[in-house]
Amino acid sequence: MLETKNALAKGSKKLINAWAFYDWANSVYSLVISSAIFPIYYAALFAENNQINFFGYDVKNTAMISFVTGCAFLVVAFISPLLSGIADFVGNKKNFMQFFVYLGSFSCVGLYWFELDSIYIGLFFYFLAMIGLWASLVFYNSYLPDVAYPEQQDRASARGYSMGYIGSVLLLLFNLSMVMKPELYGIEGTAGEAAMLAMRYSFVSVGVWWFLFSQVSLYFLPKGNKNDEKITRDILWNGFRELRTVYKQMEGNFPLKRYLSAFFIYSLAVQTVMLVAAYFGEEEIAWGSDSEKTMGLIVSILLIQIVAIFGSILSARASVRYGNIPTLIVINIIWAIICAYAFTIETPAQFYYIAGFVGLVMGAIQASSRAAYSKFLPETEDTTSYFSFYDVAEKVGIIIGMFLFGAIDQITGSMRFSIVFFGVFFVFGAIMLLRVNRKAAII
């Protein structure tokens, strides 16, 4: 059993809320850095020339950010089983989670120095921040079966995403006020210079928010049993052996195996599309002036976040009533329609329209997927290994997705072809979910 001096009973409202509060802490990265302020800032840097000279090769700026993102997930996919193996042995996965929280939050502060003159340093901080976020989520997700019983997991998972959306919107509104009215905060310079500086301050605010609010979860989450033995080479690679063990155990668990296969396909698409959505809106939509573009993108992101709150709640209720698998099938179909429609949109009004539907299914597919997986797990205290397998599958999918997206973008010169291509993955995901035993997902 997991133990800590601040031990709270499994299933207690306080423990579940403390766990879910990490979504409040880290989701500001996903909104401000991945979705809103950073894509606008990044595009503004390359307003005159959208090519980056990367060690002698000209690479389109949006393709470059896709490749850097893919490389970050490649690192996470490799280190996750390595770290989970050590965490299982040492019995303190909270320390590992804490390390990556600090790596990510401090790297967000480092994005303050993201400029054309220091583009390599800036991309490196972006790279480290992504590793910090996604590696910390490996351990965070693995806590779900430790803090909530099966019948509580749908609502606990949805609560986490809902809290994340609310908290991130609050910080984004503050950041938006800085960008639109920098003079109110004593930020001087021309309108363009002051706005760009305000965006860099926004990156710092993300790091500070993430660091401070994560302390709530880190304080209350259980630590585990300490093992005083030394870490040997065998222990170091134990995580990869655990992944192999988990894979072998799936041979007799057909619902779990089939679910993971479907999850890999549609998660590849949804994570990639979500990571590049803001870049798509910035490049492919006819906004008019730069100020209209900035305001339009941020409004659309806010719309996504607000609708996503209700989407995650609705998906939790639908999962309770109809089951996770039928709910996920419907969500995948909606995603496929969104990708097809995205190929045709050109006006801000069309972008707002599609943003509303993205918000409806964005939180829904994440919350339902995480909850469904936790229900398929066999009776075991080794939840870290199973969630490590889940996260590695997700990360490998993102690696493939980001490199595919970047390659199509680089070759065709348009992100539209990349988006519609990924709609096919949602169709296949829905078809594969039909093969999963539905009753196994209704608990």
pLDDT in tens, 301-330: 778 877 877 887 888 888 888 888 888 999
Q: How far is CA 141 from the centre of its chain?
A: 12
Residues sharing a CB contact under 8 Å with residue 189, sequence separation 6 or more, in sequence order: 182, 197
Can you list the alpha helix ranges (DSSP code H) found in 32-149? 37-45, 61-90, 93-110, 119-142, 144-147
What pLDDT is stored for residue 178 in this prediction?
92
* pLDDT interval class at 62 (50, 70, 90): confident
Quote the CA–CA distance of 22 and 282 in Å, as a whole number.
30
pLDDT of residue 438: 55
The Cα 405–Cα 391 span in angstroms is 20
User: Amino acid letter at 10?
Assistant: K
Long-range contacts of 52-57 (CB under 8 A, 24+ apart): 52/119
Q: Is 341 a residue whose pLDDT tops 70?
A: yes
Place of tokens 């199509």: 408
pLDDT at 378 over 70: yes
Q: Read off the pTM.
A: 0.76
**Calpha distance 140→94 (Å, rounded):** 8
Region 21-32: mean pLDDT is 91
Read off the pLDDT band of 29 (50, 70, 90): very high
Are 74 and 399 in contact by the 8 Å Cβ rule? The answer is: yes
Percentage of the chain beyond pLDDT 90 is 22
Tell me how crowded residue 79 is: count the other CB atoms within 10 A of its CB.
16
Instruction: Choose between 209 and 1: higher pLDDT.
Output: 209
Q: What mean pLDDT comes out for the span 162-173?
A: 86
CA distances from 268 to 100, 153, 352, 401 (A): 23, 23, 24, 6
Q: Residue 349: pLDDT above 60?
A: yes
**Which DSSP state fits 33?**
I
Give the separation between CA 404 and CA 197, rounded to whole angstroms: 33
What pLDDT digit, counting tens, does each position of 67-115 carry? 998 899 889 888 877 776 666 666 677 888 899 999 999 999 999 999 9
- Answer whether 60's CB lies under 8 Å from 53's CB: no
Percent of the chain having pLDDT more than 70? 90
Q: Residues 124-158: pLDDT tens digits?
A: 999 999 999 988 987 887 788 788 887 777 788 77
User: 72-76, 376-380, 433-437: which range is least confident on average?
Assistant: 376-380
Q: Which overall architecture, per CATH, does domain 13-223+233-441 show?
A: Up-down Bundle (1.20)
Q: Are 15 and 8 in contact (CB under 8 A)?
A: yes
CB 199 within 8 Å of CB 37: yes
CA dihedral 371, 373, 375, 379 (to 10 degrees): -140
User: Residue 290: what residue type?
Assistant: D
Q: Which amino acid is at 339?
A: C
Provide the β-strand partners of residue 58: 53
Mean pLDDT of 346-352: 89
Cα three-residue angle 377-238-272, rounded to 5 degrees: 60
Per-residue pLDDT, 441:
44
pLDDT tens track for 184-198: 999 988 888 898 999
Q: How far apart are CA 257 and CA 358, in angstroms?
A: 28
Residue 232: per-residue pLDDT: 60
Nearest CA among 221, 33, 30 for reference residue 139? 221
Q: How confident is the model at residue 48, as a pLDDT?
A: 78
Measured CA to CA, the distance from residue 369 to residue 352 in angstroms comes to 26
pLDDT, position 85: 64
DSSP category for residue 192: H
Question: Residue 9 pLDDT more than 70?
Answer: yes
| Amino acid of residue 11 | G
Residue 6 has pLDDT above 70, yes or no: no
Residue 414, token pair as written in the block: 């348009």
pLDDT recorded at residue 231 = 58
Q: How many residues are listed for the chain in this entry? A: 443
Q: Which of 79-93, 194-208, 264-278, 322-336 has the lowest mean pLDDT?
A: 79-93
Q: 31 CB contacts (<8 Å, ≥6 apart)?
A: 168, 169, 171, 172, 301, 305
H/E stretch holding 2: none
Which pLDDT value is given to residue 442?
A: 46
Predicted confidence at residue 1, as pLDDT, reads: 36
Q: Residue 443: what pLDDT?
A: 43
Indicate whether 180 pLDDT > 80: yes
Half-sphere exposure of 392 (CA within 13 A, CB side): 21
User: What mean pLDDT, rounded, does the chain reach?
Assistant: 83
Residue 382's pLDDT band (boundaries 50, 70, 90)?
Answer: low
